[in-house]
Amino acid sequence: MSPMRFAVDAHALGRHLTGNETYVRNLLRAFSEIDRDSDFLAYISEPSAEALVPERFDVRRVASSPYARLGWDIPGRLRTDKVDLLHVQYTAPVLCNVPVVVTVHDVSYLQHPEYFTFGRRTQLRCTVAYTIRKAAAVLTVSEFSKESILREYNIPSEKIHVVPNASSSDFRVVGREKAVAAARKILGFQQPFVLTVGDLQPRKNHVALIGAFANLVAAHPQLPHKLVLVGKDTWFAPKVREAAQNSGVADRIHFAGFVSDADLVSLYNACDCFIFPSLYEGFGLPIIEAMACGRAVACSDTSAMPEVADGAGLLFDPRSEDAMLRAMADILRDSELRGRMERLAVQRASLFSWQRSAKATLDVYKQVVEESGRVTSVPVQAAITRNP
């Protein structure tokens, strides 16, 4: 029997699409490590993305525009690439002649439309509903997201498979002195700092965090820390920067922008506390990344975040600046608490693995293909020839 051939819409690679890019990059890497029999094909949009695809996988270039990519590029490729299944995130092509597996990380566009522009939430409402109905299987990353999807869409529970995210093996504990020295070069200062990671968008709750940090400085003037925000600008970024300017502690708030994973590892390891005040997450990957780097984590007590932290993080109400302040103060001022949380963090992060998640994803792929009654794969050596 010919090996199964799986196609993955990997257009997010190389485009700094944060969570979506991290997800597909780590999934492809783990596929290459655990499955030498199946044939994989990645549809990419950026020329630089080819270097992010495992070498033995075939690649095809598709348009970066979602209308062209989903309207005709991928449908046209599927007709000639002879794949058994297509895996997408959120949105599938309108015309698709193979079974579809879709990953829906969360349904915040339905439950919190205020976090999105009108155009983006309208697009997601239409295309994700169509894709979920069409898909042979739906993957999501937490029990919270599964229950949310079931509330919003009339589909059988057994159609949804929970496959959690994990931190890349790049995120690990490194020598403290080395990390602090690297952070100094990245940030341009040597003060200790509190770190948060996430694009500057409404649901990441940076405005409230800035208010809580200003109050922390006022309440505990002996603390020398800065607040470092890592994440790219979005349409909401001017409001976050305005909040920083008006905080009274603007000189202690540093916007680092988008940083590479290598730099992020150094920043996680160098910070004295990682805080994640998001209002809504389908998973909350930075929580696990920070824990894998041995950091004490404080995070919101909403959506999937308590499920992810599971006793290894200090939880707070993200709508309360006082609660946020207390969480930061407790970690920064109590070295015994901080040390205990750092030990728990490493243990918690070790329970998540991209290899396990990739295996569970492949099991879904194979189940879908077998139930569809089609295996149209080409010989495996075709995957060695890169032909965009």
pLDDT tens digits for range 230-254: 999 999 999 999 999 999 999 999 9
Residue type, 30: A
Query: For residue 313, which phi and psi values (nearest 5 degrees)?
Result: -125, 155
**Nearest Cα to Cα of residue 145 among 16, 307, 294:** 307
CB 176 within 8 A of CB 269: yes
Q: How far apart are CA 341 and CA 232, in angstroms?
A: 28
What is residue 145's predicted lDDT score, i.e. its pLDDT?
A: 98
CB 6 within 8 A of CB 39: yes
Paired sense of beta strands 160-162 and 137-140, if any:
parallel
CB 351 within 8 A of CB 287: no
CB 213 within 8 A of CB 322: no
pLDDT at 374 over 80: no
Eight-state DSSP code of residue 113: G
For residue range 83-112, list pLDDT tens digits in order: 999 999 999 998 899 999 999 999 999 999
Tokens of 167: 């931190």
Paired sense of beta strands 100-103 and 193-197, if any:
unpaired
Sign of the Cα torsion 322, 341, 141, 267 reads positive
For residue range 47-71, list pLDDT tens digits in order: 889 999 999 999 999 999 999 999 9
pLDDT band at 183 (very low <50, low <70, confident <90, very high): very high
What is residue 383's predicted lDDT score, i.e. its pLDDT?
A: 35
Percent of the residues in the chain that have a pLDDT greater than 70, as a whole number: 96
**Nearest Cα to Cα of residue 286 among 352, 357, 339, 331:** 352
Domains defined along the chain, listed by start:
5-166+353-384 (3.40.50.2000), 176-349 (3.40.50.2000)
Query: For residue 168, which phi and psi values (nearest 5 degrees)?
Result: -60, 155
Output the pTM of the full model: 0.90
Eight-state DSSP code of residue 4: P
User: Cα dist. 142→147, 149, 172, 347, 377 in Å?
Assistant: 9, 11, 23, 19, 32
List b or e across 342-380, with b for residues whose CB sees 16 or more CB atoms inside 10 angstroms.
Answer: bebbbebbeebebeebbeebbebbeebbeeeeeeebbeb
For residue range 308-366, list pLDDT tens digits in order: 999 999 999 999 999 999 999 999 999 999 999 999 999 999 999 999 999 999 999 99
